Each structure stands twice: as structure tokens, then as C-alpha cells.
Structure 1
Amino acid sequence: MAQNLPPQESEFQFVSNDLSNLPISGEVVGDSRTYFQDVKRRLFHNKIAMVAGIILLLIVLIAFLGPAFVPTDPNAQNVLFANLPPKIGNLNIPGFNGMQTVAGHTVDAYQQAHVPHGTYYVFGTDYLGRDLFARVLYGTRLSIIVAVVATLLDLFIGVPYGIVSGLASERVDTFMQRIIEIISSVPDLIVVILLLIVLKPGLTSITIAIAFTGWITMARLIRAQVFKLKENEYVLASQTLGESKTKIAWKHLIPNLSSTIIIQTMFSIPSAIFFEAFLSFIGIGIPAPNASLGTLMSDGQKAFHFLPYQMWIPALILSLIMITTNLVGDGLRDAFDPQSD
């Protein structure tokens, strides 16, 4: 005869019904971060990029704010003080003490030139007696202005061109790419020389000449990225809902292209600076008496064997600008890459 047994407690019964303190599988501990917060964190953790950015910022600040504190006219000539070596006050720093080797003897160049007491030139003077420190300040500022303006022109031309080419029909895209191939098939130097022949030499003409072919790389990169992005679901859904291509570009494509645009812009600046310096070095860039890093190196190269500082100083500043800009660009590229962690 069956007996009524008391209900047995299950061996799997929870000891407590309070599950609020139990960890949930897959739960993310800590504050959630947005994409750009992650970018900022990765960039700040890149010590090389941060040091390079600080050096680049200092160069830019000194180039743009320096003339306000050093009001010396960079084009003022004083042939009596020509080719003076660098000197910093009365400090006896090797290379910056005003001493010069003449006919195998080390002499005080400032004393021989009868320079007034208390007058000295930090970077020395050139063959016309112009203050090289003032010329380097103005020359660096001019080179940076040319490079930044040319890069912005690349940005305003290359980005819309790449987006239109990527979103357009196959026939339009093919036609636009043939235009790029025709322009890129001609060497940049020939294009720049022809433009400088047509245009009046100056800051505007050299900027337009550099930007004339510089936008091609930006356009190609943007076009390639648009081809990838336009296959995503949110873009296809926007097309299905009848949104125009212009709205899709502004709302969906450009925000997702921001990393590519920023990185390519950072890499375009040193290229433009070097190209401007090269054009000025060979004598078809910034016209005299204005100074740029290229013209300063060109003038210093003529007396390099006897007065090497006239070429080394602008060459060192140009190298610092290019190296630091490229390092910052590398840091931004790694920061925008989520797989860099």
C-alpha cells in the first residue's frame, strides 16, 4: 500500500532567491566608452606620438608667435655683419659663441666685424647680413602656411570627388577615374612648373600648384572606402527609404570616413612641406626676398663648406617637422584602429 511521503527538497534548489549580487555572464565591468573616447585613450597611451605632437606644437607656436617677440625684419640687410656665426649672449657654448675659424685660426667674428656690444645673432647671419633667426621663423611659418592651405585644398577637392565617384553609376565612376589617371600620369614636377609659368610666382601660385595634383591620393582612398561602406545595411536601408545620395553622404558616409580623412590629412602635410621646400630649393618656389625653409637651404648650400650652419639649421627644422608629423599620423592611424589594442 502506497504511503504519502512528504515532498523532498530538490538537490538543485537555490539557497537564496536573491540573484541581484550574482555576476551575469558576459557583463562588461566598468564604464562604457564611445568610439572616439577609445580613440582618445589609445592616442594618449602612444608615448611616441604624444612626444612628437608636443614637439610639433612647439615648432608651430614658435613659428607663429616668435615674430611678435622678435620684431627683427627678416629682409633687413647689413653687409658689414655678413656671415656672422651663431652667438647666444656672452655664454661660451661651443657653436654658439661667435667664434669662427679663419685661415686656420679661431677668431671672434663679432669683434672683427665691430659688432656693437650686446648685439648678437642666435643663428648667425647670411651673406647679406640678414638675421637668420628671424628668417628661419618667418620661413618656417611660410612653409607651414603653404602646406596647410594646400592640404585643405586637397581635402575640399579630394573628399567630394571620391564620394561622388564611389556613389555614382559605373559609367560616371569610370569617366571620373580616367580623369584622375590622366592627371596622375604626368609627373608632378612638370605640372607644377607649367602652372608656375602660367601663374604669377608667389604664395598663391605655389599653393595652387602643390594642391593641383595632391588631391588625387585623397580621392582614391575615399572612393575605396565608399565602396565598402555603401554595402552596409544602414546605407542600403536609407536607399530603400528613398533618401538622396547627398543626405546619405552627409549622414552616413562622412562620419564613417572621418578617420581616413584625418589620417590622410596628417600624412599630406609633410609631403606638401617637402614639395614646397624642394621647389624653393631649385629656385621655382617662393620668390626672393621672402624666405621659406627651401630658400634658406638653397642659400646655405652655396656656402656649406665654409658656413655649414646656414644650411644645417633650416634642414634640421624641416626634418623635425616632417618626422614629428609622420609620427603623429602613425599614432592617429593606430588610435583609429580598434584592433590596435
Structure 2
Amino acid sequence: MSEKVQPQENDFKFLNNDLDNIPSETFGTSRTYFQDVKRRFFHNKIAMISAVLLIFVILVAFLGPAFIPTDPNAQQVLFANLPPKLGNLNIPGFNGMQTIGGHTFDAYKAAHVPDGTYYVFGTDYLGRDLFARILYGTRLSIIVALVATLLDLVIGVPYGIVSGLAKERTDTFLQRIIEIISSVPDLIIVILLLIVLKPGLTSIIVAIAFTGWITMARLIRAQVFTLKTNEYVLASRTLGESQFKIATKHLVPNLSSTIIIQTMFSIPTAIFFEAFLSFIGIGIPAPNASLGTLMNDGQKAFHFLPYQMWIPAIILSLIMITTNLVGDGMRDAFDPQSD
């Protein structure tokens, strides 16, 4: 039998020993998880356009009153029900023309409005500037939604984590509480709370947050059941770490995607619920304006003055649609396999 020849070092030759000159594109650039999420979100054109529109509406609602210091409750009965007018531009729908009984005329001249005075969104039945009222109403609706959503986070996230980490009896007891609350229709709970509390901004926020945290708590609990069986959680328990440290150090960072996504979906729900309560007359009291109260006032004269309802309805729809699309984009960015 022939002897096996052992390979020698001189038998091998490196084709390219200059690794420093290899382009970085060969290996690719390393990214963290959140950098990857940001990249996927920025590549979602629909989500980006929606985010820009949503930020624009929020900035106009919060910064607009500073540049246009018009009192939204100031009444000028002589200028009641004026149509929208944008300067001296002859834009259909924004030229101050009004049609009654088949006759079209300049409503601003008929009401003897001083030259240079015009209302971009027109006026309501009391002569109040609808543009100023929509600015303040949009800001109020957004504040209600953000505060109610913040309360959802403060209550729902700890509740879900505690329920997921607790023993079976404690978890069962906590879930029975959720089932009792969720078994009663939200509208009935809100009406009862508004009867007990004084009508106003605080009572609306408390009423919306009273049941809004349930969905967040259930989602967090389901995720905790999955995460607490992972090796790093079991290792932490073996090393004697407390439940609080396990929750804050291991669970909350891994729950961030679920929290962010659910928060984005909670905001339009809270905005719509506040608008619905104000629309049926149990929300923000007069003379304060919200998108719901503006639509309630506008629907009374919808057949003759449709702009009084269409404009706040379009803004409410724009906020809800863009927020939902941004939430969809975040869900796809955090979990590309969700589709």
C-alpha cells in the first residue's frame, strides 16, 4: 500500500491575503434591531406619508393658535353662517359665495363684512370663527386621546406583566376582573361615570381610560407567557433575581414593539370615542369645542350649510386614517412576518 502524503504548508496559497482592502459591501453593514426597524419603516411609503400628514395636523393644531390668536368662542351674530372664504381668491367653495333658493350671492357683502375680513372655514350659527374652533377642537381631541392612551400604558402594561408572571390563582383572579369589566358595554360604563363625575375634560379622559387598558393588558399578558419560558428569564430566576428585576430588565425591552404598536392603535380609538361622546351630547360641554361637538353643531344645518359638518368630519377622518396607517407601518417594521 502506498503511503499517505501529508499536506505541507507550502502546498497552499492564499488568493487574497489583503483583507483590509475588501469592500465593506462584501460583508454588509451591521445594524441593531431598532435600526433595522427604522429602515423598514422609512421604506414604507404609505406609512411615511401618513406620518408626515399626522405630524402636520398636530403641529397646526398646537402651534396654530399662537400665530392666529382668535378667540374660538367670540360671537358675532351679524356674521353668522358665513361660507368659507380664502382672501380674494376666486376658488370654488372658498370664495364667500352662497346659494339660497337657487340664487347665488356674495354672503360677505350681504352681511356687510368689513373689507379684509374673511373666514377660511366660515362661521357657525353664532358667528364664531370655525377655523379657530377647529384648531382648538382638534387640539382638545388629540390631548384627550394622548392622555387616555398614557393611562392605558400606566395601567395595562403593569397589569399584564403581573398577570403573566403571577401564579395561576392570582392570574385567574386578575383575568376575572378584566372579564367583568369587559362584559359591560363601554358606552354604559362611560355614561355612568359621566353621571357621577362632573362633565368636562377630566371626566372624559377617565371614562375612556377606564376600559381602554383592557386590550393592552391582555396583549402584554399573552406576550409575557411566551417570553417567560425563554432561557435568559429562566437563568435570571436561577440566579435569584426578583420578579421586578426580571420584568424591567428582560420583559419590558422585549415588549416594546407590542407596546408601541398597540399605543398607535389606541390613539384613534380614543379620538373616535371622544368625538362620539361629544356628538351625542355627553362629552365636552359648551362652549368648548371638540371635533365631536363641531360635527354635532354642523349636522343641524347640514342640508343648507354642509361645510360646517364636512370640514371637522374630514379632519377627524384624516387623523384616524393616518394614525392607523402609521400603526400598520410600525407593525410591519417590528414584525416583517406579520403579513
- Give the equivalent residue in structure 2 for 1:38: 36
The Cα offsets for residues 80-128 of structure 1, whole Å up to 9 and x where unpaired, read as 0000000001000000000000221100000000000110000000000
Task: Give the Cα–Cα distance (whole angstroms) in 2 for the partners of residues 174 and 340 of structure 1.
Answer: 29
Say whether the 8 Å CA contact 2:331–2:338 is kept in structure 1.
no
Task: Give the Cα–Cα distance (whole angstroms) in 1 for the partners of residues 258 and 7 of structure 2.
Answer: 60
- Give the deviation of 1:177 after TM superposition: 0.1
- Give the equivalent residue in structure 2 for 1:4: none
- Give the equivalent residue in structure 1 for 2:89: 91
- Give the deviation of 1:28 after TM superposition: 7.2
Task: Give the Cα–Cα distance (whole angstroms) in 2 for the partners of residues 243 and 84 of structure 1.
Answer: 68
Task: Give the Cα–Cα distance (whole angstroms) in 2 for the partners of residues 163 and 28 of structure 1.
Answer: 43
Structure number with bigger Rg: 1
The Cα offsets for residues 262-307 of structure 1, whole Å up to 9 and x where unpaired, read as 0000000000000000000000000000000000000000000000
The aligned length equals 333
Task: Give the Cα–Cα distance (whole angstroms) in 2 for the partners of residues 209 and 15 of structure 1.
Answer: 77
- Give the equivalent residue in structure 2 for 1:16: 13
Task: Give the Cα–Cα distance (whole angstroms) in 2 for the partners of residues 245 and 15 of structure 1.
Answer: 57
Q: 1:67 to 1:44 in 2, by over 3 A?
A: same
Task: Give the Cα–Cα distance (whole angstroms) in 2 for the partners of residues 236 and 28 of structure 1.
Answer: 38
- Give the deviation of 1:339 after TM superposition: 3.5
Is the aligned partner of 1:323 residue 2:321?
yes
Amino acid at match of 2:288: N
Q: 1:107 to 1:227 in 2, by over 3 A?
A: same
- Give the equivalent residue in structure 2 for 1:310: 308
Task: Give the Cα–Cα distance (whole angstroms) in 2 for the partners of residues 170 and 94 of structure 1.
Answer: 66
1:149-160 alignment runs, 5 A limit: 149-160=147-158
Task: Give the Cα–Cα distance (whole angstroms) in 2 for the partners of residues 32 and 53 of structure 1.
Answer: 27
Aligned residue among 220, 228, 231 for 1:230: 228
Is the aligned partner of 1:72 residue 2:90?
no
Q: 1:162 to 1:134 in 2, by over 3 A?
A: same
- Give the deviation of 1:340 after TM superposition: 6.7
Q: Percent identity?
A: 82
Q: 1:173 to 1:28 in 2, by over 3 A?
A: farther
Task: Give the Cα–Cα distance (whole angstroms) in 2 for the partners of residues 8 and 238 of structure 1.
Answer: 53
Q: 1:238 to 1:28 in 2, by over 3 A?
A: farther
Consecutive unaligned residues in structure 2, runs of 5 or more? 20-24
TM norm structure 1: 0.94
Task: Give the Cα–Cα distance (whole angstroms) in 2 for the partners of residues 110 and 179 of structure 1.
Answer: 59
1:137-148 alignment runs, 5 A limit: 137-148=135-146
Aligned residue among 190, 201, 204 for 1:203: 201
Consecutive unaligned residues in structure 1, runs of 5 or more? 1-6
Task: Give the Cα–Cα distance (whole angstroms) in 1 for the partners of residues 119 and 64 of structure 2.
Answer: 15
Task: Give the Cα–Cα distance (whole angstroms) in 2 for the partners of residues 124 and 40 of structure 1.
Answer: 41
Aligned residue among 292, 295, 316 for 1:294: 292
Task: Give the Cα–Cα distance (whole angstroms) in 2 for the partners of residues 8 and 126 of structure 1.
Answer: 99
Task: Give the Cα–Cα distance (whole angstroms) in 2 for the partners of residues 331 and 236 of structure 1.
Answer: 33
The Cα offsets for residues 232-265 of structure 1, whole Å up to 9 and x where unpaired, read as 0000000011100000000000000000000000
- Give the equivalent residue in structure 2 for 1:127: 125
Task: Give the Cα–Cα distance (whole angstroms) in 1 for the partners of residues 208 and 5 of structure 2.
Answer: 87
The DSSP-based 3-state class of the residue aligned with 1:107 is: strand
The DSSP-based 3-state class of the residue aligned with 1:145 is: helix
Task: Give the Cα–Cα distance (whole angstroms) in 2 for the partners of residues 122 and 322 of structure 1.
Answer: 23
Task: Give the Cα–Cα distance (whole angstroms) in 1 for the partners of residues 14 and 185 of structure 2.
Answer: 77
The Cα offsets for residues 30-49 of structure 1, whole Å up to 9 and x where unpaired, read as 22111011001000000100
- Give the equivalent residue in structure 1 for 2:56: 58
Task: Give the Cα–Cα distance (whole angstroms) in 1 for the partners of residues 97 and 238 of structure 2.
Answer: 77
The DSSP-based 3-state class of the residue aligned with 1:317 is: helix
Amino acid at match of 2:74: A
The DSSP-based 3-state class of the residue aligned with 1:305 is: coil
- Give the equivalent residue in structure 2 for 1:172: 170
- Give the deviation of 1:180 after TM superposition: 0.1
The DSSP-based 3-state class of the residue aligned with 2:176 is: helix
The DSSP-based 3-state class of the residue aligned with 1:226 is: helix
- Give the equivalent residue in structure 1 for 2:22: none
Say whether the 8 Å CA contact 2:87–2:116 is kept in structure 1.
yes
The Cα offsets for residues 207-233 of structure 1, whole Å up to 9 and x where unpaired, read as 000000000000000000000000000
The Cα offsets for residues 296-334 of structure 1, whole Å up to 9 and x where unpaired, read as 000000000000000000000000000000000000000
Return structure 1 stretches of 4+ with deviation > 3 angstroms: 7-15, 17-22, 338-341
Amino acid at match of 1:196: L
